[in-house]
């Protein structure tokens, strides 16, 4: 990606057994320092410059959501309820030995991070929610990424879908076999996370957000066409100790489309 300025340390992979051995989460780990738990969005985990930069100051733990790990699609069927899934991630955090980690979540992962913080208020040291899902207003419908056509999808994710950053992020491998793997993986990630988002991405988070105790930064692209930026204030109004950072010229993935701007705001908050 064009925003890469330094060599990215490649993360190592750990596994953590949870749910009485019925689930094995794969976790990408990199960096050193205080723990940071990163929860990816509905299209799956991509280790990107944003995570690499966070890994310069933190030990970043990025678990793959059940079902999204290569070769283990059936893990998507182990858990049915969102509340059980929240318990799974609390167990994972404990098993990894994370003590009051910074919890960062994007999109579906932002919703999961907010749920985790609402169920276990003492778990996160700080909380960063990047365009999180989980709230619904009838006058601000949230688009369904997994029902979008091939032509609609780029515009739902990016402010400038024809820009270099978007094009690089949306590109599939040239090798046909690898392209099939990548496309199928993305489809199954949407299916696996869709279990907790479909048909309306509202599982009652609004009623629980008052329990979040951690200092929280809500990051949103001003031009987000998937989940409108007005949701930033909705989250802020429900989370007691929170601030909003709106990112200019950005769609649903500010940490990708406006990497520097988003990173600066997040680093300031985490200082």
Partner 1 sequence: MKVTLFEQAPYRFLPSDFEAHHDSVCSTPYSLTTEAGVYSSVVDYIDELMTGARAGFDGISLTEHGQSSYDLSPNPNLVASAVAYATETERLSTAIFPMGRSLGKTREPVRVAEEYAMVDVISGGRLIAGFPVGLSYDASINNGIPPIEVRGRFEENLELILRAWRDRDPFAWNGRYGQFPQVNLWPRPLQEQPPVWITGIGNPRTMQLTLERGFGFNYFGFAGAKLTGKRIFERFWELADQLGLERNPYRMGFLQTIAVSETDARAEKEYGAHAEYAYRKGLGAIPPEMLGLPGGVNIHGVKAMLKDPGDFGMYGTMRTAGFGELADAGVVIAGSPATVRDQLLEYCTTYGIGNLHAMLGFGSMPKDLVQKNIHLFATEVLPHLRTLWQDQGFAHHWWPKRLGGVPLPAAQEHAPSAAGRTQAS
Residues binding partner 1 (CB under 8 A): 73-74, 76-77, 80, 146-150, 180-181, 183-185, 187-192, 194-195, 197-200
Q: How far is the CB of 103 from partner 1 (least distance, A)?
A: 25
The closest of 83, 82, 30 to 52, measured between CA atoms, is: 30
C-beta closer to partner 1: residue 21 or 199 = 199
C-beta closer to partner 1: residue 41 or 254 = 41
CB distance 188 to 120 below 8 Å: no
Let me know how long the chain is.
Answer: 271
Q: How far is the CB of 101 from partner 1 (least distance, A)?
A: 29
C-beta closer to partner 1: residue 80 or 268 = 80
Instruction: Give the chain's end-to-end CA distance (angstroms, integer).
Output: 26
Q: How far is the CB of 136 from partner 1 (least distance, A)?
A: 14
C-beta closer to partner 1: residue 19 or 188 = 188
Rounded Cα distance, 187 and 190, in Å: 5
Rounded Cα distance, 77 and 66, in Å: 8
Q: How far is the CB of 4 from partner 1 (least distance, A)?
A: 29
C-beta closer to partner 1: residue 156 or 243 = 156
Q: How far is CA 16 from CA 12, 93, 96, 118, in A?
A: 13, 9, 7, 23
CB distance 242 to 209 below 8 Å: no
Determine which helix (DSSP H) or strand (DSSP E) holds 83, and give its type and residue range.
helix 82-95
CB distance 67 to 73 below 8 Å: yes
Q: How far is the CB of 178 from partner 1 (least distance, A)?
A: 12
């Amino acid at each position: 990606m064009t925003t890469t300025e330094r060599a990215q340390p490649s993360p190592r992979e750990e596994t953590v057994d949870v749910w009485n051995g019925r689930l094995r989460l794969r976790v990408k780990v990199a960096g050193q320092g205080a723990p940071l738990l990163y929860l990816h969005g509905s299209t799956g985990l991509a280790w990107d410059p944003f995570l690499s930069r966070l890994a310069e100051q933190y030990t970043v733990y990025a678990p793959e959501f059940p079902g999204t790990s290569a070769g283990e699609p059936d893990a998507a069927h182990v858990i049915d309820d969102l509340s059980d899934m929240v318990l799974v991630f609390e167990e994972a955090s404990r098993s990894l030995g994370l003590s009051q980690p910074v919890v960062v979540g994007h999109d579906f992962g932002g919703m999961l991070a907010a749920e985790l913080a609402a169920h276990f208020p003492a778990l996160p040291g700080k909380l960063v929610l990047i365009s999180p899902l989980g709230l619904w207003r009838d006058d601000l419908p949230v688009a369904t990424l997994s029902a979008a056509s091939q032509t609609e999808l780029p515009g739902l994710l990016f402010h400038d879908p024809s820009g270099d950053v978007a094009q690089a992020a949306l590109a599939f491998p040239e090798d046909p076999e690898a392209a099939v793997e990548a496309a199928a993986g993305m489809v199954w990630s949407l299916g696996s996370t869709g279990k907790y988002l479909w048909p309306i991405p509202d599982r009652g988070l609004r009623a629980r957000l008052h329990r979040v105790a951690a200092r929280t930064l809500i990051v949103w692209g001003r031009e987000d066409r998937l989940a409108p930026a007005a949701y930033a204030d909705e989250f802020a109004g429900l989370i007691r100790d929170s601030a909003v950072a709106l990112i200019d010229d950005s769609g649903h993935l500010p940490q990708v489309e406006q990497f520097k701007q988003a990173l600066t705001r997040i680093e300031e908050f985490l200082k």
